[in-house]
Amino acid sequence: MINIFSRAQMFAPTLFAVLFAVPCLSQDSVIAHSQYESRSDLEAAQRDAEAQHRSSEAWLLRNRLQNGDFQEGDRIVLVVQGNPALSDTLTVRAGKVLQLPRMSDLPLQGVLRSELSEKLTAHLAEYLRDPTARVTPLLRVGVLGHVQRPGYYYTSADVLLTDVVMRAGGPAADADMQHIVIRRGSDVIWSAADTRTALTDGLSLDRLHLRAGDEIDLAAQHHVAWGSILQIGATVLTAAIALIRFH
């Protein structure tokens, strides 16, 4: 499990999350995606995690830096100015490649979300003159457990964790917002305590290092069944009194 308390100051709270807010790109000028963590940010975080012996967090960061953010099945919304034939929602295919009409495949192995704009713009520039495009990477995450509409949802990685829960209809009546965990397969990558800090600090999915297939799981509230306990206690007490009288 990852301890994010020591990293909380690194993440400025986000007041408004725009689901499809994407900057314009051009061959000569690419606006940086400040909502996504850069490679240098992640490298610094990895060094900090290793220095403080936070091995789970260091592994997660190292894996992200090496393999990139994109998984098969991820979607990328592409809008190319003046070229509607290329404007589409594309799916990352087997081998982590992006297939574009009448162009060679674009490999995304090792590419971070913050690097996608520059990478894709350079690829388009091999076929188009001075391309201008807007790019929004989407990932598919599970929102499971005690929510109104549990399931898997495609969402922009720069949205807040709370916004993703609301995409699933919000917490169910019996949900315990103090006990949310995030899993990757069978591993818990964010514990309930860490997730509470993430909710308080307004961290996005990107800053939580989530990738396709990760699952956000809301637990149920644990109510003490006092009626049953009292009933059992009364039964035990009655039996004890009967035994005393019998002897």
Return per-residue pLDDT of the chain as tens, 247 residues: 555 444 443 333 332 232 333 333 333 333 334 579 999 999 999 999 999 998 888 988 999 999 999 999 999 999 999 999 899 999 999 999 999 989 999 999 999 999 999 999 999 999 999 999 999 999 999 999 999 999 999 999 999 999 999 999 999 999 998 999 999 999 999 999 989 988 899 999 999 999 999 999 999 886 544 455 456 555 655 655 656 666 5
Residue 228 in domain? no
How many CB atoms sit inside 10 A of residue 222's CB?
8
Chain centroid, CA 30 distance in Å: 25
Scan for tokens 């990932």, then name that residue: 139
pLDDT value of position 121: 93
In the chain, the amino acid numbered 3 is N
Q: Is the same domain home to 18 and 116? A: yes
Q: 109: buried, middle or exposed (CB in 10 Å: 19+, 13-18, 0-12)?
A: exposed
Nearest to 144 by CA among 218, 79, 72, 195: 218
What does the pLDDT read at residue 225?
45
Long-range pairs for 127-131: beta carbons < 8 A, 24 or more residues apart: 127/102, 127/103, 128/80, 128/83, 130/26, 130/27, 130/28, 131/25, 131/26, 131/27, 131/80, 131/81, 131/83
**What integer pLDDT is reported at residue 161 of this predicted model?**
92
Residue 49 falls within a domain, yes or no?
yes
Instruction: Check whether residue 29 and residue 76 sit in a common domain.
Output: yes
Q: Is residue 235 part of a domain?
A: no
3-state secondary structure of 175: strand
Q: What is the CATH number of the domain that holds 154?
A: 3.10.560.10
| Same domain, residue pair 201 and 118 | no
Task: State the pLDDT at residue 1.
Answer: 53
Which one, of 180, 104, 111, lies nearest residue 142 by Cα?
180
238 in a domain, yes or no? no
pLDDT at 20: 30
Distance separating alpha carbons of residues 30 and 132, to the nearest angstrom? 9
Instruction: Pick the last residue of a domain from 99, 118, 137.
Output: 137
Q: Residue 194 is part of which domain span? A: 138-220
Q: What's residue 54's pLDDT?
A: 86
Q: Are residues 99 and 142 in the same domain?
A: no
Tokens of 58: 């260091």
Are 199 and 87 in a shared domain? no
Domain count for the chain, please give it.
2
